Amino acid sequence: MNARLFAFVGGEIGSWRVIETKTVAGEGLAEVKRLNVVNAAVPLLPDDAQWLLRGVTSNERYVTRSERAQLTAKQPVLGRRQATCAAFIPIRKTASWWNLAQDERRMILEESSNHIKTGLKYLPAVARRLHHCRDLGGDAEPFDFLTWFEYAPSDSAAFDELVAELRASQEWTYVDREIDMRLARD
């Protein structure tokens, strides 16, 4: 379990400097100077930190075999030298989303909203990692997903376009809390 566990600590330290924090939907998060991304358990809020969000990487839920092949062929790794920009976007979906059956969620995510098809257009510019929060066992995780993206400064406008396309989709009518943090590595 531990290798899949990630902690995002908002505070004064970490290699990512926060450039901008926008509350897109629902309750905001305290503004912080830096984000520390830790691939390990962080059981307690460190001194000087404002918040701690946790998630685990997991198996895919919705991708088909052919989508997986396209993703695998195009998706870059995290940590590329030129990818000095990042976006950290914690998201929560509504109870009505979670009450849907798996096939209904797939229909909305891809057949109606083209999430994967849209995302694929932005590869290999954008590298990503999806973290799930609902399976951590605790009952107090404030988000369902912690999404993380890395790209070069020259791809910032393209990333904004991608996010705007997704937010206009049917899938996003099920999002009731979303914070959009943009960061730079120095």
**Helix ranges restricted to H, 24-169:** 65-74, 95-98, 102-106, 115-121, 156-167
Nearest to 126 by CA among 77, 54, 184, 60: 77
Choose the stretch contacting ligand HEM; rule: CB under 6 A; options: 11-19, 28-36, 45-53, 124-132.
124-132
- 180, 21 Cβ separation under 8 angstroms: yes
Fill in the amino acid letter for 8. Answer: F
152 binds ligand HEM (CB under 6 A): no
18 binds ligand HEM (CB under 6 A): no
Residue bearing tokens 């509350």? 23
116 binds ligand HEM (CB under 6 A): yes
* Residue 112 backbone phi and psi in degrees, to 5: -90, -35
Nearer to ligand HEM, 44 or 95 (CB): 95
Cα–Cα distance measured from residue 18 to residue 34, given in angstroms and rounded to the nearest whole number: 5
Nearest to 170 by CA among 95, 71, 104: 104
List the one residue from 55, 119, 141, 150 that touches ligand HEM (CB under 6 A): 119
128 binds ligand HEM (CB under 6 A): yes
List the one residue from 50, 70, 114, 147 that touches ligand HEM (CB under 6 A): 147
Closest CB 44 distance from ligand HEM, rounded Å = 27
89 binds ligand HEM (CB under 6 A): yes
131 binds ligand HEM (CB under 6 A): no
158 binds ligand HEM (CB under 6 A): no
Return the H-helix or E-strand segment holding 52.
strand 51-56
Q: Where on the chain is the footprint of ligand HEM (CB under 6 A)?
A: 60-63, 71, 89, 91, 93, 115-116, 119-120, 122-123, 126, 128, 130, 145, 147, 149, 162-163, 166
